[in-house]
Amino acid sequence: MKLKSHYESLFQSARQQLIHDQYEVDKKIDNPSDSRRGITLLARPDHHCKTKITAFLDELQLLDPSQYYYPQSDLHITIMSIISCYAEFQLEQINPKEYISIILDSLRHIPPIKVHFAGVTLSPAGVLVQGYPDGEALQELRDRLREHFKSSTLQQSLDKRYTIQTAHSTIMRYRHPLKNKDKFLQTIESNRHTDFGTFTVSELELVVNDWYQRKKNVLVLHQLPIPSQH
């Protein structure tokens, strides 16, 4: 997959949806009875990248404070959505140790994973930071996870919603109709190539999470360090 053209295509498509008021306003963000939960393997950006992303979000927030902006604690890259969020999921349904074992096996001899955050793009539901993995380590890890989980009997829904191939980070969701659409779009367009920094993934987290990865609803099942060299 050519990520640059993928992100560009995503931007052009979502931009048209935005212009024609066909973007997706999330009605569940503020619903306290939203019980959707799942299992995710994720990585966290480093402090430098988080700080630059937050500075950009501050700009957007000035234009429209009513939208949903990800706090620093919730910023992440999804390595693999192992069980996509659904309302009936309970942690008691699975044995986390079995999942951890498969992930550890998949991580063996994986080289360091580096990600460059460069520019923002739109999705139908909000704003993403464009992530570009350096080398094949992330793709190799995902391929191994798919192979190992799909040959197991464990509950999983890998690639059920979509086949994850990018290294983006969702940083804003539409919570209400946009109040200042033209200026919002202008700010997005002027940050299409902003450099948010590069980081090396030092550890992965296996978590139980809600749809939005909100810290208050995230339970870390295991932290998996990635060796700095294989």
Structure tokens at 31: 């619903």
Helices 137-150 & 96-107 angle (0-180, nearest 10): 140
Q: pLDDT at position 155, please? A: 83
Q: Is residue 98 scored above 80 in pLDDT?
A: yes
Identify which of 108, 115, 145 has the alpha carbon closest to the alpha carbon of residue 131: 115
pLDDT one-digit tens code per residue, 197-226 = 999 998 999 999 999 999 999 999 999 998
Q: Is residue 230 scored above 70 in pLDDT?
A: no
Q: pLDDT at position 159, please? A: 59
Residues 138-144 have a mean pLDDT of 95
State the Cα–Cα distance between residues 20 and 95, nearest whole angstrom: 46
Average pLDDT in the chain: 94
Share of the chain above pLDDT 90, in %: 88
> What residue ranges do the domains of the chain occupy?
3-28+38-225
Q: pLDDT at position 228, please? A: 67
Q: Is residue 160 scored above 80 in pLDDT?
A: no
Q: Is residue 101 scored above 60 in pLDDT?
A: yes
Q: Is residue 229 scored above 70 in pLDDT?
A: no
State the Cα–Cα distance between residues 152 and 136, nearest whole angstrom: 24
Structure tokens at 190: 């002027």
Using the structure block, give the residue that is written with the tokens 């739109």. 122
Name the superfamily (CATH) of residues 3-28+38-225: Cyclic phosphodiesterase (3.90.1140.10)
pLDDT one-digit tens code per residue, 51-87 = 999 999 999 999 999 999 999 999 999 999 999 999 9
